[in-house]
Structure formats: C-alpha cells, structure tokens
Amino acid sequence: MKVLVTGAAGFIGSHVAHALIDRGIEVVGIDTLNAYYDPVLKKARLERLTVSPKFSFQQADVSDRDQMNGLMADNPDIRIVVHLAAQAGVRYSLVDPYSYVNTNVMGQVVLLEACRKLPSLEHFIYASSSSVYGQNTSLPFKESDRVDAPGSLYAVTKRAGELTATAYAHLHGIPQTGLRFFTVYGPWGRPDMAYYGFAKAICAGEPVTLYEGSGLSRDFTYIDDITSGVLAVMDHPAKAGEARLFNLGGDHPEKVTRLIGLLEETLGRKAQIEFRPRPAADMESTWASLEAVQKLSGWKPETNLETGIGIFSAWFRNFQGF
C-alpha cells in the first residue's frame, strides 16, 4: 500500500508518517518547508523519516496545480491520502489572511482535483480544526453543532475545507473523512503553539503571556493519541460518496494555568506571568465530544496532560539546549 502524507515535515504529519512506516506502509511525503516557523525544525523532523526506505519526499506546494498533477502521475498507485498540509495558526490569520486562503482553501481544491486522476484512491483523510466551532459556547463540542459563527479567518478556511470535501464526495464519489484536531501538543511540536512558547519563556526567564479569564481552558491532546486516532479512522474508511467529520481530542479540558504549572514542575523553573486581555480570535474553552469516533473505531486518548508535558519537556530541554 502507498499513502500520500501532505505536510509530512509538520508536527502531526511527521508523526503520522512514522506510524505508517512502522506498519510497513510506503509513504510519499510532501511539504513546502515554508518559513512560518523555523524550517530547521521541519528539516530535523524530515531527517528522522528519510532514514527509512519506505519514505520518499518531495518539496511541493499543495496549491500548485502542476506539481500536484505531476505527483499523481508519478504515483498512480496511491491508495490513501492523509492531507495535513495547512497554513496553521489562529492569530497569524489576522496578519496574512491571503496565505490561509491560498493554502487551506485553494490547496485542498487543487489536491482533490489531482486526486480525481488516481485510479486506486480509497480514502481522502484531511485535517480540520476545533477552531471551526468558533463562538459556540455549549460544551462539549459535537460534530452535529452549528459551525456558522467562526471566530477567525483560520476557522473560516478550515470550515471551507470541510464543505469542499462534502461537495467532492457528492460530485465525484471520493470517500472523505475530516478530523477536527483539538490543541495538539508533544515532542517535535510547533513553536507557535502556546505550550511551546510558554516553555521557551520559562527557560529563558522571560515573561509568560497569559490571557485573562478564569475559564480559559483547552482540550489538550497528546500527539501519539492524535496519531493513533488518524490511523484508527484510516482502518475504518468512508464509503464512496461519503463525507464524515470526527473530533479528535483529549476528552478532558484543562485550565491553561495547570498547563503552566506542569511546565514549571517539569522544566524546574518558575514562570513570570503577565496577564493580558484575550484576543477576539481566541476561544475561551474547548472540549471535544468523542462519541462519534469511539462508535466508529473504539479509539480513545490514552495520555494525560501530566504525562504528556513530562515527555515534551524532556524533549524540549534536549532539542533547545536548555
């Protein structure tokens, strides 16, 4: 079996690629290696993958029609696509909205059009986000909730990806599954994520910015749980013409203040906290209902925040040299 993983140098993409290789699956990985955050980290993730003969890599942009058409022509035996490439980050969508539309919307359309040329395609799995729940306040978030009040352009582009998938399933029969990820963390993570930024600030003796609000909490999800969730969905594919959506979360919201406390414990340093007003684009709380994915596959997260942050902090100290 051959699987295409887009965003293979990314945080989730690299972990999913490793898990597929461990199953003996041939993986074709693509990534732009853009400079949204330090490409050195992306290249380090890739180096860990390229030691395997089961992995091949191409630097490519999912929004480039010629590159995607050429990729499919060179790999007509791709059976599953795991589309994780995206312009990530809620707040950065206020800075450069065009990159979100180009990568997250145009990129998904271009990739799906190219996938129509694959004779053996069995399943198209793609990354959505908990951000699509936007201004919803009813917890936990369920896939059946209305998602027509986005709180950021990032959320708009992720919801557009879901609607695009539904249309392509209906029009072209491509089996589709979208996964709404909830605050993924762990080793080899993204430096733009809050937990990573907190760790850097704590170790450097710099102020940690914490947004005001006693209810500020997130459904933190450890990377290995996200990876096993992706594979569980892959093992239970959608049918032709079907477009599904599932939450993948930790199923246990934690206050951000507890996250900081665990980082202080595992890094052995105290945080200097500065409180600021919460940006309008940031949600106050998130919590994933997992009923749907558990009914499908039996998947459930296994790693609690204390264990996950301990593993992350050990990796962080080693990788960052603290």
* Single-letter amino acid, residue 64: D
* Residue 154 annotated as catalytic: yes
| Residue in 37, 100, 126, 154 annotated catalytic | 154
For every residue of 127-150, DSSP letters joined together read EEEGGGGTT--SSSB-TTS-----
Alpha helices in 34-141 (DSSP H): 39-49, 65-74, 97-100, 107-115
Instruction: Tell me if the bond preceding 140 is cis, omega within 30° of 0.
Output: yes
Beta strand segments in the chain, E: 2-6, 26-31, 55-59, 78-83, 123-129, 176-181, 184-185, 207-211, 217-218, 221-222, 243-248, 254-255, 272-276
Question: Residue 290 in contact with residue 171, Cβ under 8 Å?
Answer: no
Q: Report the alpha-carbon distance of residue 10 to residue 320 in Å, rounded.
A: 18
Residue 158 DSSP SS3: helix
Q: What is the dihedral of CA 48, 50, 51, 54, to 10 degrees?
A: 120
Cβ atoms within 10 Å, residue 194? 18
Q: Report the alpha-carbon distance of residue 280 to residue 66 in Å, rounded.
A: 38
Active site residues: 154
